[in-house]
């Protein structure tokens, strides 16, 4: 078997050699096969917005379901939540986002471009396309100024210009919706520490330099879990989630060679964090400099007791109110030790879109046949594959074969995402399914009418097996679970 190997790749691991050579390869596959399209394309697009097509929405749903299943169903210490995107503005005042959620901006007097000072490497110089912002002798930057990333909106039939009380924000993270519901969930679920609350949903950031396809966008989806625990247990639990998430990513088919950890320095830590470790993915394997091949897939933070304290009305010491606007105390009473305290929070926070990009890049392979023809095979884990099985008739002009194939698809569909396709020769149909990662193709031929059996073809090995139609669903179910 020959696999396409990125000539610039320094990775020795054979699994890594199967990854996409760059993000552009995935952009083109996504557009060609209906994973992701540029948003508002017929009006010229909108820079950083992307729409998910029929395969993209299935893949994203499968990723979210896998995350939810792993955390909420397979563990017994995590509850789910779905909080509002638009909250009372005070949430963002006390979380610190109104004052601190900003990026440093610089304007260039020479090219008139505007850049994020800490991400100059991510921006091309508009005047000299071969260099990054800041690399040309002509670059002449203004002093940096802070730019708040929250999208503003108004609530009700008033304008924020007329009435400041109408001002609201689209949430920049799902996490705060969890903190402000801590007591609701605690009271209704009757949980005891330690326990977590998980949430998946859209977040919005008016990023200064969005880019790299779906890697950094202004509208994106997060999968966040806030795990509440006793302060002394926080370092251990933090480490357990760092280890656990690396394993989970690998269980989704991502090669360990394309994952690495990054420990944030004290200068990089958010004001609320005691320790944060990012899990990086090799999104830019084509870059010569190994250090520049990596970027953040997720962050796992020890947020201390900052969030529950900051949203609490309770006096901390000496009768001084921590928060004069809140009506609730978010402290926790431990029945066993008779202590009242603010739990620490461990937060694993991942982006759906960044994980989807990593999954696509890692699953991407090219295979060359004896005639020198190269085809794309997307080696997605069956759990994540948008379509699990394609039913293909070998003779589309034979009505009995077509109707048997359609019936088989119909019978499989309630158990797994199945499609029927007769719009090409069998080679073309196989290639089409390989390219979108369908683990199995089922072909119905003349013999099927006699022996009530079909051929099941495996995407990765191309091995074929004859299976009785009556046993097909169970056969596929078993193999999909692997
Ligand atoms: N509550 C903590 C928090 O939001 P973050 O590191 O800012 O932490 C968590 O975001 C994850 O959300 C990131 O690791 C990334 O996967 C995703 N993310 C953040 N900003 C993004 C953006 N502009 N576009 C796409 N994904 C983004």
> Which atom of ligand 1 lies at the shortest distance from residue 207's CA?
23
Q: Looking at residue 6, what is its pLDDT?
A: 33
What's the CA-to-centroid distance between 148 and ligand 1, angstroms?
Answer: 16
Predicted confidence (pLDDT) at residue 5 exceeds the cutoff of 80: no
What pLDDT is stored for residue 401 in this prediction?
97
- Alpha carbons 17 and 4: distance in angstroms, whole number: 7
How far apart (Å, rounded) are the C-alpha atoms in residues 14 and 362? Answer: 12
Which residue of 60, 151, 205, 299 sits with most ligand 1 atoms within 8 Å of its CB, as the best mutation to test the pocket? 299
pLDDT at 126 over 90: no
- Read off the pLDDT band of 15 (50, 70, 90): very low
What percent of the chain is predicted at pLDDT more than 90?
Answer: 81
Pseudo-torsion of CA 5, 11, 16, 19, nearest 10°?
-50
Comparing CA positions, the residue from 424, 416, 423 lying closest to residue 440 is 416
Q: Which atom of ligand 1 is nearest to the CA of 355?
A: 16
CA 310 to ligand 1 centroid distance, Å = 22
The mean pLDDT of the chain is 92
CB 470 within 8 A of CB 452: yes
What separation in Å is there between the alpha carbon of 352 and the centre of ligand 1?
A: 9
Contacts of 131 (CB under 8 A, 6+ apart): 124, 125
* Model pLDDT, residue 224: 98
CA-proximal residue: ligand 1, atom 2 (nearest)? 349
Instruction: Give the integer Cα–Cα distance in Å for 385 and 35.
Output: 12
For residues 200-227, average pLDDT: 96
71 vs 251: CA distance, rounded Å: 14
**What percentage of the chain reaches a pLDDT higher than 70?**
95
**In whole angstroms, what is the distance from residue 409 CA to residue 415 CA?**
10
Q: What is the tens place of the pLDDT at every residue in 336-389?
A: 999 999 999 999 999 999 999 999 999 999 988 788 888 999 999 999 999 999
The model carries a pTM of 0.92
Task: Count the neighbouring beta carbons within 10 Å of the beta carbon of residue 156.
Answer: 9
Per-residue pLDDT, 67: 98
CA–centroid distance, 82 to ligand 1, in Å, is: 18
Question: Ligand 1 centre from 268 Cα, in Å?
Answer: 15
pLDDT digits (tens, 9 = 90+) for 133-191: 888 888 999 999 999 999 999 999 887 677 888 999 999 999 999 999 999 999 999 99
Three-class secondary structure of residue 73 per DSSP: helix
Q: Which residues 6+ apart lie within 8 Å of 7 measured at CB?
A: none
pLDDT computed for residue 308 by the predictor: 96
* Dist. CA 222 → ligand 1 center (Å): 7
Residues with C-beta less than 6 Å from any ligand 1 atom: 173, 175, 205, 207, 216-217, 220, 222, 224, 296-299, 347, 349-351, 353-354
């Amino acid at each position: 078997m020959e696999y396409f190997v990125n000539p610039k790749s320094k990775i020795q691991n054979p699994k890594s050699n199967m990854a996409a050579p760059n993000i552009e390869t995935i952009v083109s596959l996504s557009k060609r096969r209906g994973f992701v399209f540029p948003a508002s394309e017929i009006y010229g697009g909108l820079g950083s917005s992307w729409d998910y097509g029929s395969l993209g929405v299935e893949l994203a749903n499968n990723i979210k379901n896998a995350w939810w299943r792993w955390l909420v169903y397979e563990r017994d210490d995590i509850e789910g939540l779905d909080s509002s995107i638009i909250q009372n503005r005070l949430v963002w005042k006390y979380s610190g986002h109104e004052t601190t959620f900003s990026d440093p901006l610089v304007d260039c007097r020479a090219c008139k471009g505007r850049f994020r000072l800490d991400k100059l490497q991510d921006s091309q110089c508009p005047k000299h396309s071969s260099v990054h912002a800041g690399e040309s002798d002509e670059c002449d930057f203004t002093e940096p100024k802070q730019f708040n990333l929250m999208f503003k909106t108004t609530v009700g039939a008033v304008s924020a210009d007329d009435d400041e009380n109408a001002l609201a924000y689209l949430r920049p993270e799902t996490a705060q919706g969890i903190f402000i519901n801590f007591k609701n969930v605690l009271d209704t679920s009757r949980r005891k520490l330690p326990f977590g609350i998980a949430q998946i949903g859209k977040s919005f950031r008016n990023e200064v330099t969005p880019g790299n396809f779906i890697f950094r966008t202004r509208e994106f989806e997060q999968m966040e879990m806030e795990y509440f625990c006793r302060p002394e247990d926080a370092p251990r639990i933090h480490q357990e989630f760092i280890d656990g998430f690396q394993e989970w990513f690998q269980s989704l088919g991502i090669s360990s060679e394309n994952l690495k950890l990054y420990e944030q320095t004290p200068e990089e830590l958010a004001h609320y964090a005691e320790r944060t470790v990012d899990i990086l993915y090799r999104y830019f394997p084509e870059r010569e400099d190994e250090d520049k091949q990596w970027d953040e897939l997720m962050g796992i933070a020890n947020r201390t007791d900052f969030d529950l304290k900051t949203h609490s009305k309770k006096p901390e010491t000496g009768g001084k109110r921590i928060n004069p606007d809140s009506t609730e105390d978010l402290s926790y009473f431990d029945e066993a030790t008779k202590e009242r305290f603010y739990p620490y929070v461990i937060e694993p926070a991942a982006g759906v879109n960044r994980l989807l990009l990593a999954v696509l890049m890692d699953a991407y392979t090219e295979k060359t046949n004896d005639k020198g023809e190269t085809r794309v095979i997307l080696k997605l884990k069956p759990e994540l594959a948008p379509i699990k099985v394609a039913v293909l008739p070998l003779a589309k002009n034979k009505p009995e074969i077509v109707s048997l194939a359609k019936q088989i698809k119909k019978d499989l569909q309630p158990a797994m995402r199945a499609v029927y396709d007769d719009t090409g020769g069998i080679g073309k149909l196989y290639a089409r399914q390989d390219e979108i990662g369908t683990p199995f193709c089922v072909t119905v031929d003349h013999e099927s009418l006699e022996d009530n059996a079909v051929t099941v073809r495996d995407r990765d090995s191309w091995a074929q097996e004859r299976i009785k139609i009556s046993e097909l669903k169970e056969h596929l179910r078993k193999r999909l679970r692997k």
